[in-house]
Chains A and B, each alone.
Chain A
Amino acid sequence: MEEIRQLQLKRLQETLTLVANKVPCYQAKFKDSGFKARDLQTLDDLRHLPFTTKEDLRINYPYGMFAVPMREVVRIHSSSGTTGKPTVVGYTKQDIKTWTELVARFMTAAGVTQEDIVHIAFGYGLFTGAFGLHYGSEAIGASVIPISGGNTDKQLMIIQDYRSSALVCTPSYGLTLADRMEKQGIDPRSLALRVGLFGAEPWSEQMRVELEQRLGIIATDNYGLSEIMGPGVAGECLYKQGMHLAEDHFLAEIIDPDSGEVLPEGSVGELVLTSLTKQAFPMIRYRTRDITRLNYAVCECGRTLARMEKTRGRTDDMLIIKGVNVFPTQIEEVLFQIEGCEPHYQLIVDRQNNMDSLEVQVEVNEHIFFDEMKQQRQFVVQAEKRLATVLGVSAKVKLVEPESITRHEGKAIRVIDRRHQ
């Protein structure tokens, strides 16, 4: 225990020195709070530093928070921002190495070996999921099938024919595969599948039982976010008693989301992460908005790293739909851009046949009402197209009558999430 704290302190001091020299945003933050990097003597001193939020990333879009020149950046990823513009993150060669190692670490803890054929059904692209697991699998020496997302029938054919043994996807897509298998009469026992590594969206213990039974696998959870690195921040071992957090690379705090105070060990609160070894995109006290709890007891597997419970929710209004982060403010902006007015809207998130669906109900007003059906339908189609582009996930737009959306104390209720009912 003492050893890891020593290592964390040393790496934290290095990280603070790096950002104090290279990142104007942190220079300003430190100056405002009267903090000097060399003042940090113990890990506890970290609480005197201000937080970093998604808003900071938005202000410094796209490369303002990078701590190295672009010639040292070898990879760029991004995720959705709270408004229009996404969040951009970068990696040096060393960062990619660290990331690869950390993904390989949790995959190994979840039972993946070089004998495995890893079927990666995350979408390859700007999101960190697919590439993170891809590199980690290769580092282990497993055989990677970079199938990417979609085309469920083809996925099943490949799982059968190529003998995929480890499945990587969102838990909801795992259930979609299970449904399709049942429909086609494929017996999970006839497959080589034995483990599943699920991430990118929150899921329940009940879903774990379902995935394990219907796919005939051991299902483990893992956690990450692109602002910090991507997958590999934490992951479960085969005991499935919380996700081992890579404490040698990240410092975790649990805070009261309202007061910002650090909470005592074992409390439930918002997870705040500080990167300890990142070069291109260091993060100091990043507010993840995820609610969880940390357990510092040694795991049955023998690992001493702190374990993070499954996330219990968010402190902001971010939704995760089909593994994609969606903020209601993004939808507001799209609607505003289309007609220059801000109609009342409500998001209905549901899960049908294990697939998330997003419906945006928009109250019609005279600005967006047309006497011609063609124009009215065009408005709907245009809104759906814009939303799909901005959100990265498809949405159905439904026009509803004025004042038909439920209001609470005069404010329209923005989100109805039926997935967990």
Chain B
Amino acid sequence: MKVEQISIFIENKSGRLAEITGVLGENGINIRALSLADTSDFGILRLIVDDSKKALNVLREQRFTVSITDVIGIEVSDSPGGLTAILKILDNNNVNVEYMYAFVERSGDNAVIIFRFDDIDEAILALSNNGIKILPSVRITSI
């Protein structure tokens, strides 16, 4: 259920993103989803790839600072109000969302949202109890 997400520290310097995607591309690693959080000095790039172990290794070899975090993916109907229902459940169960990002599936009418929680197990429990389907990790890494 949990998906491995890779986080990478990058300085706000031109060309850094291209270097990372370049390293991944050369090693045949495909990026499934991506989000970037930044400040004026630095950023944290978060990636979901098809082979996180390999990505971690090649990035470390290239002297990037990386970490792995568990996140989950939820399918939300790509229509107004789709996200609200989920957020309400989380709120009612006092689960905090640290951050989230969304992308639209290649086919179908749904959006996939990646969530990072302060307590992921609590979140999974709350969502499952309320009938929200959490995507199996293979569904996301092979989008």
A interface list, Cβ under 8 A from B: 364-366, 369-374, 376-377, 398-404
Q: Are A366 and B37 in contact (CB under 8 A)?
A: no
Q: Are B63 and A403 in contact (CB under 8 A)?
A: yes
Would you list 8 pairs from A and B whose C-beta atoms are within 8 A, ordered by A residue?
A370-B67, A371-B46, A371-B116, A373-B39, A399-B42, A400-B11, A401-B9, A401-B65
Question: For the complex, what is the distance from the CA of A369 to the CA of B66, rounded to whole Å?
Answer: 8
Name the contact of A373 in the complex, choosing from B10, B11, B37, B64 (C-beta under 8 A): B37
Task: Provide the residues of chain B in CB contact with A369, threshold 8 Å.
Answer: 7, 9, 65-67
Q: Are B63 and A371 in contact (CB under 8 A)?
A: no
Task: Provide the residues of chain B in CB contact with A372, threshold 8 Å.
Answer: 98-99, 116
Question: For the complex, what is the distance from the CA of A373 to the CA of B65, rounded to whole Å?
Answer: 15
A397 (CB) vs chain B CBs: closest residue: B41
Query: B-side binding surface: helix, strand, loop or mixed?
Result: strand
Name the contact of B44 in the complex, choosing from A371, A398, A404 (C-beta under 8 A): A371
> Which parts of B15-33 form the interface with A (CB within 8 Å)?
16
Task: Provide the residues of chain A in CB contact with B99, threshold 8 Å.
Answer: 372-373
Q: Are B98 and A401 in contact (CB under 8 A)?
A: no
A396 (CB) vs chain B CBs: closest residue: B41
Task: Provide the residues of chain B in CB contact with A371, threshold 8 Å.
Answer: 5, 7, 44, 46, 67, 69, 116
Question: For the complex, what is the distance from the CA of A404 to the CA of B41, rounded to whole Å?
Answer: 14
Given contacts A372-B99, A401-B11, contact A377 B65 (CB under 8 A): no
Q: Are B7 and A401 in contact (CB under 8 A)?
A: no
Known: A401-B9, A403-B63. 15 other contacts (CB 8 A): A364-B9, A369-B65, A371-B5, A371-B67, A371-B69, A372-B98, A372-B99, A373-B44, A376-B42, A398-B41, A399-B9, A399-B11, A400-B11, A401-B63, A401-B65
A363 (CB) vs chain B CBs: closest residue: B65
Interface digits, B42-76 against A, CB 8 Å rule (1 contact, 0 not)? 10101000000000000000011111010000000
Question: For the complex, what is the distance from the CA of A403 to the CA of B61, rounded to whole Å?
Answer: 13
Question: For the complex, what is the distance from the CA of A400 to the CA of B42, rounded to whole Å?
Answer: 8
Q: Are B64 and A377 in contact (CB under 8 A)?
A: no
Question: For the complex, what is the distance from the CA of A364 to the CA of B5, rounded to whole Å?
Answer: 19
Task: Provide the residues of chain A in CB contact with B46, threshold 8 Å.
Answer: 371
Least distance between A378 CB and chain B CB atoms (Å) = 12
Name the contact of B66 in the complex, choosing from A366, A400, A403, A404 (C-beta under 8 A): A366
Q: Are A399 and B44 in contact (CB under 8 A)?
A: no
Q: Are B39 and A402 in contact (CB under 8 A)?
A: no
Task: Provide the residues of chain B in CB contact with A373, threshold 8 Å.
Answer: 37, 39, 44, 99
Question: For the complex, what is the distance from the CA of A400 to the CA of B67, rounded to whole Å?
Answer: 16
Q: Are A364 and B65 in contact (CB under 8 A)?
A: yes
Least distance between A388 CB and chain B CB atoms (Å) = 18
